[in-house]
Amino acid sequence: MRMRLLSALIWLCFALPVMAQDLTVFAAASLRDALTEIAGHYPADVTLSFAGSGTIARQVAAGAPVDAVVLAHRDWTGWLVARGLVAEGTIREVAGGALVLIGPRSAAPLANPDATSLITALSGGRLAIGQRDGVPAGTYARAWLKSIGAWDALQPHLAETDNVRAALALVAQGAAPLGVVYASDAQVEPKVAIVHRVPAQAHAPIRYPAAALTAAGADFIAYLDTDTARATFEKFGLTP
């Protein structure tokens, strides 16, 4: 009788579905809306923390307890790989994006911005961008400004921020007349308008690489490739 009961319990253990583990994910600030919704559908509790990609990478290097990271530039996952903090084979690009120039809701479009037209549109104010070396959106913005020959002239007129959502907020609050953010950021902020869509060839491709640091993190990253997650990325203006 005891043997039959033990056998039944063993069979039951194997028959039960494996439950996803609770986990912590650090992610690029521009993914706040999409990942918050995706985490709400995930079959476990996900604690999300958002910041600039450079800040996140340094937090991981400092030993922050995290299961997965989703960054906005492969340079930063490469930085983690070089320090032995994540394995190259665990990295998966989960989404893509586009860069845009934004102004206040009433701003007129800028068809072909250059140094002169940008400085004129700023009217003594500053162009809000992510910090050029630590925030991928700022790195992409610098590449675009260089491609139109405006970087040198615009440098004295920049307001560099710790993450792209901070640049978005400066424009939304009227503290900066123009900003460079992702199209997905502009989509969720009703107080701004897109005045120029930056050509994709003006900068490196915008990709969001994710890296797992634990088994629970690997499960979450795999979930980002499901139909539900892909549809959510699209809903918030990202390319799955």
CA distance 20 to 14: 15
Residue for token digits 């799955």?
240
Give the confidence band of 20 by pLDDT, cuts at 50, 70, 90: confident
Amino acid in the structure at residue 124: G
Residue for token digits 């919704």?
37
Give the confidence band of 10 by pLDDT, cuts at 50, 70, 90: very low
Domain spans, the chain: 2-96+206-235, 99-202
The mean per-residue pLDDT over the stretch 104-130 comes to 96
CA distance 75 to 211: 12
Residue for token digits 């491609």?
147
Tokens in use for 71?
A: 């960054």
pTM, two decimals, is: 0.84
What pLDDT is stored for residue 90 in this prediction?
Answer: 83
Domain 99-202 listed as CATH 3.60.150.10: no
Give the confidence band of 36 by pLDDT, cuts at 50, 70, 90: very high
Q: With contact defined as beta carbons under 8 Å apart, do 177 and 108 qualify?
A: no
The mean per-residue pLDDT over the stretch 139-162 comes to 98
CA distance 108 to 122: 12
What pLDDT is stored for residue 6 in this prediction?
Answer: 39
**CA separation (Å) from 193 to 53, 97, 104, 107?**
25, 17, 6, 7
What pLDDT is stored for residue 7 in this prediction?
Answer: 40
What pLDDT is stored for residue 217 in this prediction?
Answer: 95
What pLDDT is stored for residue 19 in this prediction?
Answer: 59
HEC profile of 7-57: HHHHHHHHHCCCCCCCEEEEEEHHHHHHHHHHHHHCCCCEEEEEECHHHHH
Instruction: Give the three-class secondary structure for 119.
Output: helix
Dihedral pair phi/psi, residue 64, rounded to 5°: -60, 135
pLDDT digits (tens, 9 = 90+) for 157-208: 999 999 999 999 999 999 999 999 999 999 999 999 999 999 999 999 999 9
166: left (phi over 0), alpha (psi -120 to 50) or beta: alpha
Give the confidence band of 14 by pLDDT, cuts at 50, 70, 90: very low
How would DSSP label each residue in 78-94? HHHHHTTSS-GGG-EEE
Rounded mean pLDDT of the chain?
Answer: 91
Judge if 2-96+206-235 and 99-202 fold alike in CATH terms.
yes
pLDDT digits (tens, 9 = 90+) for 192-201: 999 999 999 9
Q: Which CATH number fits domain 2-96+206-235: 1.10.3720.10, 3.10.129.10, 3.40.30.10, 3.40.190.10?
A: 3.40.190.10
Amino acid in the structure at residue 144: W
